[in-house]
Structure 1
Amino acid sequence: MTDRDVYLPVAAQPSVETLVGMSRLAETSGYDRVWLPETWGRDAVTTLSSVAEHTDEIGIGTSVMNVYSRSPALIGQTAATLQEVSDGRLRLGVGPSGPIVIEGWHGVDFERPLKRTRETVDIVKRVLSGETVNYDGDVFQLSGFRLRCDPPDPVPPVDAGGLGPKSVELAGRFADGWHALLLTADGVAERLDDFERGTELGDRNRESQRVTLSLPCCALEDRERARELTRQHIAFYVGGMGTYYRDALARQGYEATADEVAQRWASGEQEAATAAVGDDLLDEIAAAGTPEECRDQIARFEDIDGVDAVNVSFPRAAERDVIDATIDVLAP
């Protein structure tokens, strides 16, 4: 059975208490886990600590914590601590993010993202095991230290995010799961082939790995409002976040649309960029519309063989009433 999670809003929220309230609503509504992204707003660690303190059973996770702004050892320490304060409810998601965030916000060169992600996953797993970490990688060299506290029990799984074939293969080969977003149903199936090839290359047990898909969702009786909010969300990612998501859409057969959105956005024509996200793409990559439509659309993604969890995520411009209504409508 496919789990249904909540991907807490990436856009700014009034307070940490607001995010905690959404998490509590997700818990009482029967969702399996809440995931928190980390971009240039509140940090994921402090916020998830508050979520863990004010919830009882729902899982927590980072999706994703980038591998440039913290060292792998610090990510491991942080995961161990979050696992402790949440009483074993953590699932860690890491990934490279993209050059706009890494270079523009953190001031770090976006170099060797695949290699850096792979080595980070390796080191984090060693830190969490409690063993002395000696590591001679191409990016990182560590020696002689181990956690100064008991290692977490159970050890939290470490997932990797990715959209391209090589990054998804890497997740299958070295991580405990893969985080996907902005993919059509056909795109998910294609990338699952890459993930499972990585699983074979790494001699991993596929049954112990987990594939989590984040799906933009907006379920309202006002159908056009729901679709417009979601259309704006997709336009922002394709046009405003560099080439990463544009390339992903191009690989899925939407190159002309992706290019038009990017060009319009770069020219300051944000409304035109939003309008360029046609109904065909919107219906292929999101669940947006009436409650009945959204239930059918999300079920289509949950039926994909190999997807273990679908995250209900929200448009960037969605306000609290829209978020709460969508959580309620799409509750498991």
Structure 2
Amino acid sequence: MTDVARDVFLPVAAQPSVDALVEQAQQAESLGYDRAWLPESWGRNAMMVLTSIAERTSDIGLGTSITPIYSRSPALIGMSAATVQEVSDGRFRLGLGPSGPIVIENWHGVEYGNPLRRTRETIDVVRQVLAGEEVSYDGEYVDLSGFRLRSAVPDPAPSIDVAGMGPKSVELAGRFADGWHALMLTEEGLADRLADLERGAALGDRDPDDVRVTLSLTCAALEDRERARDIVRQHSAFYVGGMGTFYRDNLARQGYQEVANTVYDEWNDGDREEALAAIDDDLLDELAVAGTPEEARERLDGFAAMDGVDAVSVSFPRAATVEEIDTTIEALAPE
């Protein structure tokens, strides 16, 4: 367990300013966290925020926990990764993922289709860009030729991680990526997906130990125990019920089909209280970290001790205030 890195997953929910996110990353750096991840949804541009963080930190690793592959061209993703790697002096990891149709179609106005193939082609092109090669690619969705990165080639090239919940997406990570971002998984669910990762690594003639597994955990470590558990429960119900079918299906695959369907149905029928009530205390503790600082530290250590985990990432519920985020970052810092 001592070899397991402890990362911080900066909040995707609206923070008051870019400065607030920078300050959270600075706090994490001062407390010894290994890396600060930032997702991108329909708020701030993750690459630009990470550039600000890179300029105002010195040691902490940085990364996009997910850069949606539909909202930028693969070449632009590669250019952006090279730029952040430059300004951070080599501290950047690029996390990619398809996101979901709710965000991609309703926010970006792009048709969501064949996410596995799109992810594979994006990885291939980004690797060529970051290697400084003349990009030549004839894919199902990407057809490129004749250009290479005009600026200096990043040295080293940023590692590429993939976020995924389903068996095939995790297999893809094992076959083609340098890391996998796991989320909303019980211990048994994680074991099942690690088998998919190993199968993908075998298909790619790779050592699965070379694929970094980062487990993202929704965390609230507060003296007000009930507040901590309430906001983590609300966050979990929001994703299962309100963010399309991927999170629902992910929970169902782990043996909680009835719960997943109840949360999804009640949420979409407008009965949020019933949706939250369907996630009982035992399930909440299987998926997340919520309670007093002492309870939360013990639970986080339990997740870090799971076989196959290389890093645990302290994430935050949507309803957490800036003060509650700061408190949780401090309470769950590496010892």
Number of the residue aligned with 2:15: 13
Matched, 1:66 2:42: no
Q: In structure 2, what residue type is equivalent to 1:151?
A: V
Aligned counterparts of 2:272 and 2:88: Cα–Cα separation in 1: 41
Letter of the aligned partner of 1:127 in structure 2?
A: V
- Higher alpha-carbon deviation: 293-302 or 83-92: 293-302
Q: Which amino acid aligns with 2:261?
A: D
Q: Specify every segment of 5 or more residues in structure 1 that has no aligned partner in the other structure, as ranges.
A: none
Q: Distance in 1 between matches of 2:34 and 2:243?
A: 29
Cα distance between partner residues in 1 of 2:198 and 2:301: 23
Is the contact between residue 75 and residue 126 of structure 2 (CA under 8 Å) also seen in structure 1? yes
More deviation, 289-298/223-232: 289-298
Check the 8 A contact 2:183/2:215 in 1, yes or no: yes
Task: Select the residue among 231, 234, 240 that pairs with 2:233.
Answer: 231
1:316 Cα deviation after fit: 0.4
Amino acid at match of 2:308: G
Q: Which of residues 117, 120, 123 in structure 1 aligns to 2:119?
A: 117
- Residue 299 of structure 1, CA deviation: 1.1
Between the aligned partners of 1:205 and 1:76, the Cα distance in structure 2 is 25
Indicate whether 1:321 and 2:330 are aligned.
no
Identity %: 65
> TM-score under structure 2 normalisation?
0.98
**What aligned pairs does 1:89-100 form with structure 2 within 5 A after superposition?**
89-100=91-102
How far has the Cα of 1:120 moved from its partner?
Answer: 0.3
* Partner residue, 2:332: 330
Q: 1:206: how far off? A: 2.8
Structure 2 match to 1:198: 200
Residue 250 (structure 2) pairs with residue 248 (structure 1)? yes
| Aligned mate of 1:209, from 208, 211, 217 | 211
Q: Secondary structure at the residue paired with 1:262?
A: helix
Question: Aligned with 1:84: secondary structure?
Answer: helix
Maintained 8 Å contact 2:197/2:208: no
Q: How many residue pairs end up in the alignment? A: 332
Normalising by structure 1, we get a TM-score of 0.99
Q: Could you tell me which of 283, 289, 292 is aligned with 1:281? A: 283
| Aligned positions of 1:137-152 closer than 5 A | 137-152=139-154
Deviation at 1:272, TM superposition (A): 2.2
Q: 2:292 aligned with 1:303, yes or no?
A: no
1:264: which partner in 2? 266
CA distance in 2 between partners of 1:308 and 1:295 (Å): 17
The one-letter code matched in structure 2 to 1:300 is G
Q: Is the CA contact 2:11–2:316 (under 8 Å) kept in the aligned structure 1?
A: yes
Task: Choose the corresponding residue for 1:30, options 26, 29, 32.
Answer: 32
State the distance in 2 between where 1:56 and 1:306 align: 29
Helix, strand or coil: the match of 1:139?
Answer: coil
Q: Which amino acid aligns with 1:39?
A: S
| Cα deviation code 1:195-237 (max 9, x no counterpart) | 0111111012333321111001101111111000100000100
> Which AA in structure 1 matches 2:313?
N
Structure 2 CA distance for aligned equivalents of residues 51 and 126 of structure 1:
26
Task: Give 1:116 shift.
Answer: 0.1
For residues 29 and 196 of structure 1, what CA distance do their matches in structure 2 show?
33
Once residues 50 and 170 of structure 1 are traced to their aligned partners in structure 2, the CA distance between those partners, rounded to angstroms, is 31
Aligned counterparts of 1:209 and 1:267: Cα–Cα separation in 2: 40
> Cα distance, 1:269 vs. partner?
1.4
Instruction: Provide the residue aligned with 2:168 in structure 1.
Output: 166
Point out the more displaced range, 24-33 or 288-297: 288-297
Deviates more, 1:80-89 or 1:181-190: 181-190
Structure 2: how far apart are the matches of 1:269 and 1:109? 30
* Whole-angstrom distance in 1 between the partners of 2:333 and 2:65: 20
Deviation of 1:12 (Å): 0.4
1:18-50 superposed Cα distances (whole Å, 9 cap, x missing partner): 000100000001000000010000010110011
The 1-side partners of 2:279 and 2:135 are apart by 48
* 2-structure distance, mates of 1:186, 1:218: 23
Per-residue deviation, 1:271: 2.3
**Are the counterparts in 1 of residues 229 and 290 from structure 2 also a CA contact under 8 Å?**
yes
Tell me how far apart the structure 2 counterparts of residues 322 and 11 of structure 1 sit (CA, whole Å). Answer: 13
Aligned to 1:43: 45
Q: Which amino acid aligns with 2:156?
A: P
2:133 pairs with 1:131: yes
- After TM superposition, the structure 1 stretch with the greater mean CA deviation from structure 2, 291-300 or 87-96, is 291-300
The one-letter code sitting in structure 2 at the alignment partner of 1:29 is: L
